[in-house]
A and B are shown apart, each in its own frame.
Chain A
Amino acid sequence: MTTLTQPRIKLAAARIDEATKTYGSNGTRVRALDGVSVQFESGRFTAIMGPSGSGKSTLLQCTAGLDTLDSGTVFIGDVELGSLNDRQLTRLRRDRVGFIFQAFNLIPTLTAEENILLPLSIAGRHPEPDWYEAVVDTVGLRDRLNHRPSELSGGQQQRVAVARALVSRPEIIFADEPSGNLDSKSGAELLSFMRHAVREFGQTIVMVTHDPVAAGYADRIVFLVDGRIVDEMANPTAEAVFDRMKNLGG
C-alpha cells in the first residue's frame, strides 16, 4: 500500500563519502583513496575501472566491509559500516553482501552445491527452493552440482561463485576481476550471467575490472585514477571504454 502513496525511488544499495585510505608509512606512502564519494544504485551493474594502483580494489574492499577507511563513511543500505564491530561486520557480509573473487572462490573440500549454499549453511539457514533452482539454472550448473572444484573448469568454478553470491539474495554483490583468470569465451559467458542476474532478478552488482570488454557489460562505469574519481560513463560499449581508457593514460 505504501507503493501507492510513495514514488518509487531507486535507493543507493551502497554509498561511500569522502573516503580516504593511505597505505605504508612516511617514505612509501600511497594514497589509495583520496576523497572518493560515490553511490551504487540498486538493481544496477556498476563497473569500477582504472589502471593498476588507481585504488579500485581498495574502493571495493572498503565498500564491502573487508577493509576500513582512514576517514569518510560507508553505507550498505542504511547501515554505516564504521560503527560496526567485527561480529556485526561478519553478519553483514554473511546476510547482505555477496562476493566473487578473481580466483580461489571455492572451498576445495566441498561440492559445487555445498559451495553455493555455503553462506546459508554458515548462517544455519535453508535456501528458498524455487530461488535456488532458478539460480542453478541461470548459471547452468545442474549436472555439475556434485562435483568438487578440482573437477570443474575455471569458468565453471567462477559460475559456482556467482551462484553462491546470488543464492542468499544479498543487497549487493562485489566482484573483483571475476573474469580475470578466464579465457575470453568463459569470461564472456560469466559476465553475461552476471548481467542477466541484474536484468532479470534486479540484483545489484559492483565489479572491479581493468578489462574494457568486461566493463562493457556494466550499466555504468566509474573511472578511478590515483585514488580519485575522474570520470563516469553510462551504458558503455567496449569501444567507448577503450577510448576513454587511452585518454586516462593508464
Chain B
Amino acid sequence: MFLTSIRGLLAHKLRLVMTTVAIVLGVSFVAGTYVFTDSINARFDTLLSDVYSGIDVSVDPVRSDLDTTAGSLPAELLDQVSSVNGVEAAVGQVDGYAQIIGTDDELVGGNGAPTLGMSWVEEPSLNPLRINDGNGRAPLAAGEVVVDVTTAEQTGLVIGDQVRIQFSETAETFEVVGLVSFGEEDGLAGATLAVFELSEAQRVLGLDGAYSSIVAKAVDGVASTDLKQRVAEILPSEAEASTGAEQTQRELNQVSADLGFLTTSLLMFAAVAIFVGAFIIQNTFRILVAQRTKEFGLLRAVGADRRQIMTMVGLEALVVGLIASGVGIAAGVGLSYGLRAGMNSMGFRLPDGPLTVQPRTVVVALLVGVVTTLISALLPAVKAARVSPVAALSDAPPSNGARSLRTRTITGSVTTFVAVGMLTVGLVAKAGFIYVAAGAGLVFLGVAVLAPMAARPLAELLGRPIMLLSGVSGKLAKENTRRKPRRTASTAAALMIGIALVSFVSIFAASVKSSVEETVAESFSIDLAIQPTVLGDPSDPESHSGFPAEFTDQLRQLPELGVVSAGRFGLARIDGDVEGLVAIEPETIEAVYTLDPSQDALEKASDGGLLVSERKLDEQGWKVGQTIQIEFAETGVQSIAIDGTFRGENLGAYLISVATYDANFTSNVDSFAYVTYGEGIDDTVGRAAVDAIAANYPSVGIQDKDQAAAAAKASIDQLLAMFWGLLGIAIVIAVMGITNTLALSIAERTREVGLLRAVGMSRRQVRSMIRWEALIVSLFGATLGIGLGVLLGWSVTRALGDIGLKGMTIPGGQIVTYVILAGLAGVLAAAWPARSAARMNVLEAINHE
C-alpha cells in the first residue's frame, strides 16, 4: 500500500510541489517566528548575563501598577546596603528620561525604543557599560556626557562635540567626552543612551539626593541568593532586593514582551496561510481522487478493502505534509534571517548571533503542517474509500445527488449561523478575542461550504460580459467554471478569505477615519493642538509622553492667544481596575472642546469631583452624586463624588480637574494642550508666536486642526499596512491554488482541448479561454470576499457604535483595487496552465485516454 502511495505521488511531482506550497508558506511563518524570537532571546540572554555578571544583588523601589514614574530610593539607603555583612561593594545609580537632540533640532530615537539617561558607575565590576580603547573617557564633571556608539554613529556625534539633551522638563547642552558600548554591542534595539557623572545625573534627571537603584557585589564565598536575603532584611517597605540573575530574567521578559506584537502578527500571517492552504490541499486531493476513480475501483476489485484505500490516500497526505513541513522549517530559518535584516533596516538594531532552532520549533511546525494536510485530505480520502469496484469498469463519474446538496445547505447554514453567533457574542458581549477569531474562521468555513451553490449563477453573471467581449473563448470559459461548481468554489476560497480580511479591515479603518474626521470637525473648536512629539505609552514610566508644564505656562502669557487649555494623564485604581484619568481645566475646556457635560458638571469638577462618560456610568451602574473610592499611587485611597457626565470618550472615560490632579500626583508634565488665537489674530501671527516659544522645547509638537486629524488617520493607515501583507500572502496562495486546480482541470479535459484545436481553435484562443476561466474564478472569489468583508465590517462597526464609531464607511476606491488585484492574480495564475494547454499536441490530445 505504502509503495503504491509513493509511486502515485512521484508520478505527479509538479502537482505535488504546487500542493505543498501553501503548507510550506504557513509552516515557514510558524517556524520563522519561533526561530527569530528564540534567537533574539538567546542573544539577549548571553548579553544580559554578561552585563549583569558582576552584580549579585540589585535594590529597586517597589513599583505599583498605578505608578507612572519609576520611583526612587533615599540616598542613606546606600550606606545601609554597603554595611550589610557580605557586601564587598555597593553603588547607587540613577536613570530616567533623556533624549538626544540631533543637529536638525529633532529628537533622536524613541517611538517605543528606550531613550535612557543614566549615571556612570565608577566600580567596573558593577558597571554594565564599557568604554573601549579610543572611544574617549567616562564623564567626570558637570556638563559632560557619554553616548552609545550606535547613536553617535547615527547622529554624526564625535568626541568633543556639543550636544543638546532633552529631559522631562528642560533641555541642556553637554560636551561629548566618550562613547560607550553595552557589553559587546555598540547599541541595543534602537535604544539611545546618555550617561552622566552621578551628581550631574541626579540633577538633570530630577533625582537630587536619591537613587533609582543600588547594586551590590558579594564578597567571595557568599552566594548572591544569601546576600539578597541579608539585604532584604534591612530594606524599608518601599524597596525590594533581587539577584542579578532575577534582574536578567526580568529584562529578558521585557524583551519577549516587546517582541510580542511582532510574534502575534507573524503567527497571524501563518494562521491565514495555513487556513487558506487547507482549502487548496483539500481541493487538490479531491481532484486527484476523482481522477483516480478507476484506479481505486480496480484496487477494490482485486481485493483492497475500504480501510486500505483510505489508508493509502492518508499516507499520501502524510508524506506530502511531512515534505512540506520539512521544506517549511528550512524556509522559516531563512525567513528569520530576513526578518532580522528587515527589523534592523527599520532601525531596531537587533543583536547578531547564531540562529536558535529549538526542538519545540520543529515539533510545532511539523505538527501544524502534517495535521493541516491530514485534515484537508480527510474528506477526499473518505470519498476515495467509497468508490465501488464497479467504477473500474464504468466511464461515468459518480454524480452528486440532491442529497449531498441538501446536506451541504444544512451544514453550511448551521456553520455560518453558529459563526455569526460567536462573532456577536465576542463583539457585543465582549466575550473575548477568541470568540471573534473562531467566529471569523467559522464564517469563512460556512461560506466556503455554501459557495458552490452561488458558483453557477455568479459565474453566469460574471461570464456574460466576458462572453460578449471575447465570443467563443469566453463562452467556453464561463461554462467551464459552471461545470464543477464545487471545484470553482474551493479554488476561489483562498482569494475569498484574503479579500474578505483585507476589505473588512479597510472598511473598519475607513469607518474609524471618518469618525475621527467628524469628531475633530464637531468637537474641537481649536486653532492649534499641542502634543508631545514622541508618543509613548503613558502608563510606562520608561517611555516619556508629555511636555513640560512650564511650556504651557509660557503660552498662557502670550497676548496673541485666546484660550490655552491643557490636560494631563494619570493612572488610578477604580473598582479594582487600573484606569486612565485625564485632567482637564474645567474653566476653559468648553472653549476648545465640545464635551456636552451634564448640568453644573464642570463647575463641580473644579471643586474636586469626578466626571464619568455616559457610557461608563451606564456600564458601571453608577449614579451622578454617588461617591466612589479611587486609589492613587501617591495619595492612597480617596473618596471622590461623581459630579456629572459627558458624551464621547475621545479624551477619556474619566475626567478630573487639573487641581484635583495636582492634589494626587506629583508629575509636572502636560499630555496635551488646546489653543485658540486671540481676537483678530490670524494663523500666521498666532502660529509664529507659539513656534517662537516651542523652539526651546523639542518634545513639543504643534498641529493645526487639519494636521491633528491627518495624524490620527495616519496611525490607522500604519495598521492597515500590515493587512496588505495578509492580502499579499492570501493572493500568493490563491495564485498557487488557481494554477494547481486549472492545471488539473485541463489535464482532465485534454481531449476537449484537442477537439477544439482540431476544429480550428488557435493556440491564442485556447490561452485566452483558460485565462478567462481563471478570471471568472478569481472574480467570483473577490465578489464573495467583498460581500463577507462588508458583512463583517457592518457587524463590527455596529458592535462598536457605542464607543464612538459613527456608522460604516465603505472605501470604494480600495475595494475596486482589491477586485482588480484579484483579477490580475487570476490571470497570472492562468499563465502556466494556459501555456501548457495551448502547446498540447492536437493528435495526442484527441487520442488521450
Contacts and interface: CB of A to CB of B under 8 A. Distances in A.
Contacts of B475: 110, 114, 121
Contact of A121 (B471, B479, B762): B471
Interface stretch (B119-127, B244-252, B372-380, B748-756): B748-756
Interface residues of B, number: 23
Contacts of A86: 763
B756 A107 contact: yes
A164 interface: yes
Contact of A105 (B471, B755, B763, B842): B755
Nearest to A114: B475
B751 A90 contact: no
Given A104-B751, A121-B472, A66 B843 contact: yes
A61 B760 CA distance: 15
B843 A122 contact: no
A229 to B, nearest CB: 22
A24 B763 CA distance: 27
A26 B45 CA distance: 71
Contacts of B472: 118, 121-122, 124
Contacts of B758: 66, 93, 99, 101
A178 interface: no
B483 interface: yes
A119 interface: yes
B471 A90 contact: no
Nearest to A105: B755
A94 B761 contact: yes
Interface string A58-97: 0001000011000000000000000000110011011100
A90 B762 contact: yes
A109 B482 contact: yes
Given A104-B751, A121-B475, A61 B843 contact: yes
Given A121-B472, A122-B472, A101 B760 contact: no
B476 A109 contact: yes
B471 A66 contact: no
Contacts of B755: 101, 104-107
Contacts of A67: 843
A108 interface: yes
A123 interface: yes
B762 to A, nearest CB: 5
Interface in B744-800: 751-752, 755-763, 765
A81 to B, nearest CB: 13
Contact of A109 (B480, B751, B763): B480
B760 A122 contact: yes
Contacts of B756: 107, 118, 122
Contacts of B759: 93-94, 98-99, 118-119, 122, 164
B545 to A, nearest CB: 65
Interface residues of A, number: 28
**Residue picked from B471, B755, B763, most chain A C-beta under 10 Å:** B755
Contact of B761 (A90, A99, A114): A90
A110 B755 CA distance: 13
A152 to B, nearest CB: 15
Contacts of B574: none
Nearest to A103: B751
B846 interface: yes
B843 A107 contact: no
Contacts of A90: 757, 760-763
B550 to A, nearest CB: 80
Contact of A124 (B471, B842, B846): B471
Nearest to B839: A86
Contacts of A124: 471-472
Contacts of B760: 90-91, 93-95, 119, 122-123
Given A118-B759, A122-B761, A124-B471, A110 B842 contact: no
A90 B482 CA distance: 28
A90 B751 CA distance: 17
A118 B759 CA distance: 8
A132 B760 CA distance: 19
A87 B843 CA distance: 15
Interface in A33-69: 61, 66-67
A76 to B, nearest CB: 13
B752 to A, nearest CB: 6
**Residue picked from B480, B763, B843, most chain A C-beta under 10 Å:** B843
Contacts of A66: 758, 842-843, 846
Contacts of A106: 755
**Residue picked from B480, B757, B758, B763, most chain A C-beta under 10 Å:** B758
Contacts of A87: 762-763
A28 to B, nearest CB: 18
Contacts of A98: 759
A19 to B, nearest CB: 16
18 contacts: A66-B842, A66-B843, A66-B846, A87-B763, A90-B757, A90-B763, A93-B760, A95-B760, A98-B759, A104-B752, A104-B846, A106-B755, A107-B476, A108-B483, A110-B476, A114-B475, A122-B759, A124-B472
Interface of B: 471-472, 475-476, 479-480, 482-483, 751-752, 755-763, 765, 842-843, 846
Q: Which 4 A-B pairs have the closest CB atoms?
A: A94-B760, A109-B479, A121-B472, A93-B760
Interface of A: 61, 66-67, 86-87, 90-91, 93-95, 98-99, 101, 104-110, 114, 118-119, 121-124, 164
Given A66-B758, A118-B472, 9 more contacts: A90-B757, A90-B763, A104-B846, A107-B476, A107-B755, A107-B756, A114-B475, A122-B756, A122-B759
